[in-house]
Amino acid sequence: MKITLEDIFSLSTAVIYNPDLYKSVTSVSIDTRTIKKNSIYVAIKGKSFDGHNYIDEAIKKGAKAVVVNNRKLTQLENLNIPIISVRNTITAYGELANVWRNKFTGKVISITGSNGKTTTKEMIAHLLSAKYKVHKTLANNNNNIGVPLTILSTPPDTDFMVLEHGSNHIGEIEYTAKIAQPDYAIITNIGSSHLEFLHTKEKVLEEKIALFNNVKNDGSVFVNNDDKLLRSKKKNYKNVITFGSKGKANIHQALLSFTDDAMAKIKISDGKRNLNFTLPILGNANTQNILAAVSIALKVGLTKKVILNSIKTIKEVHGRLELIENKIFSLIDDTYNANPESVKNALDVLSKFKKRKNKILILGDMFELGENAKWHHEQLASSIVKAKINLILTIGKNTTHLSNKINSSKISKHHFSNRQKMNDFIRNMAVKDSVIVVKGSRGMKMEEFVEILKRKAA
């Protein structure tokens, strides 16, 4: 796969200088630290850096052409290589990714949703890797730069490209979905994430459904039949595969029971095959994630035996209901992020965790909930009481309202306005025979408290 001069001419606002010097390249880069020889370097301006300052370094390391903002042209008069001038280099980067995607002969699987998209992406990649060569989104590369980055880093001999699409503003999914043009698309669910910007669940649906709208003509959409908002849209699409535990889904799941450490025993059926297994990671929410992943695996032709063997070796994604066991207590690191649905999922794990006597929740604020943030926090009080928590520690502005709302003599509660005071409390609190969940939005940096707890177990 190569980016040709004809491909460069297809960029929407491109003006090409020294086109006679252009020779087809085999990679595209925005990072001089990892740039390869025979590549195009795209100079992107970020909040704290400007890629135009690294053009000379990119050329020294093997860049054969550069894509620059047209306002920077006067700084590049002495360059004797092809210069592609564009109005917006981030847009041009996306267009180059779309060129690469259209040359790609494998299949593209795209995932979005309010909860579970990263775990589902990891599960799909894990299952498919048993038989196929898979390239997936790494880290948190799920935005307008991350999706093109993943596409452009995909080796030509890859069988399946597995992409995660994130969003918190209208139009972001549509932008990356048009670049990806998936063969298969999954929306895990529609929840209350990013309401600060998207305002309502209906707006969240409008944003996420753009992934389905950009599936290739012969592609398939996978609809979570248990999600009322998504179910209402399935009639709009041609090739639909439904999955769920309610109603008449094409791929049906039954929850059989839970182990004492909250691992789900599951049966998944497509009408022809029954797959019975214990999911080796925590959480009722992960039963939906594995159902979505198995639905894809069945669609692409993996056998029952291959799928079941692969499920046995599934691991948690770091910071997402990650179980860390020791002799004294069980620690569940769920610090990656938080919204109302994912907090309820964590509480559900606590309620089902019978292996330990005491249940402790350490919770930080949930962000991006807009004007109803206080209400969303207060609504968790009933779920906390229902989960039979023994001790809850809260920190943040809005968890104050939650702490005040909890009205149960059976729950010991402590709210902290100061991180140091919370650190000191955690260092000294009794943890023997306890299961402890730590959760909060990314900006709350709840992993600090996880590290303190790890040291208590040492």
Helix (H, G, I), strand (E, B) or coil at 248: coil
Q: Are residues 113 and 254 in the same domain?
A: yes
Q: Are residues 226 and 307 in the same domain?
A: yes
The residue ranges of DSSP E strands in 3-58, in sequence order, are: 15-17, 27-29, 39-42
Helix (H, G, I), strand (E, B) or coil at 334: strand
For residue 203, tell me if it sits in a domain: yes
Q: Are residues 112 and 235 in the same domain?
A: yes
Q: Are residues 83 and 118 in the same domain?
A: no
Q: Which of 311, 344, 359 is the last residue of a domain?
A: 311
For residue 54, tell me if it sits in a domain: yes
Q: Are residues 304 and 335 in the same domain?
A: no
What b/e readout covers 243-260, taking b as 16+ CB neighbours within 10 angstroms? bbbeeebbbbbeeeebee
Domain with 430, as residue range(s), is: 322-457
Helix (H, G, I), strand (E, B) or coil at 224: strand
Q: Are residues 282 and 422 in the same domain?
A: no
Q: Are residues 133 and 257 in the same domain?
A: yes
Q: Are residues 342 and 225 in the same domain?
A: no
For residue 99, tell me if it sits in a domain: no
Q: Are residues 141 and 26 in the same domain?
A: no
For residue 26, tell me if it sits in a domain: yes
Token couple for 24: 């087809």
For residue 317, tell me if it sits in a domain: no
Q: Are residues 149 and 227 in the same domain?
A: yes
For residue 328, tell me if it sits in a domain: yes
Kindly report the pTM of this predicted structure.
0.89
Report d(CA 381, CA 403) in Å as an integer. Answer: 8
CATH number for the domain harbouring residue 199: 3.40.1190.10
The total number of structural domains in the chain stands at: 3
Q: Are residues 291 and 187 in the same domain?
A: yes
For residue 398, tell me if it sits in a domain: yes
Token couple for 376: 């969303």
- Tens of each residue's pLDDT in the chain, 458 residues: 899 999 999 999 999 999 999 999 999 999 999 999 999 999 999 888 899 999 999 999 999 999 999 999 888 878 889 999 999 999 999 999 999 999 999 999 999 998 889 999 999 999 999 999 999 999 889 999 999 999 999 999 999 999 999 987 889 999 999 999 999 999 999 986 666 666 788 888 999 999 999 999 999 999 999 999 999 999 999 999 999 998 899 999 999 999 999 999 999 999 999 999 999 999 888 999 999 999 999 999 999 999 999 999 999 989 999 999 999 999 999 999 999 989 999 999 999 999 999 999 999 999 989 889 999 999 999 999 999 999 999 999 999 999 999 988 899 999 999 999 999 999 999 999 999 999 999 999 999 999 999 999 87
For residue 98, tell me if it sits in a domain: no
CATH number for the domain harbouring residue 77: 3.40.1390.10
Report d(CA 211, CA 208) in Å as an integer. Answer: 6
Strand bridging mode 83-86 / 107-112: unpaired
Q: Are residues 167 and 304 in the same domain?
A: yes
CATH number for the domain harbouring residue 336: 3.90.190.20
Q: Which of 59, 91, 123 is the last residue of a domain?
A: 91
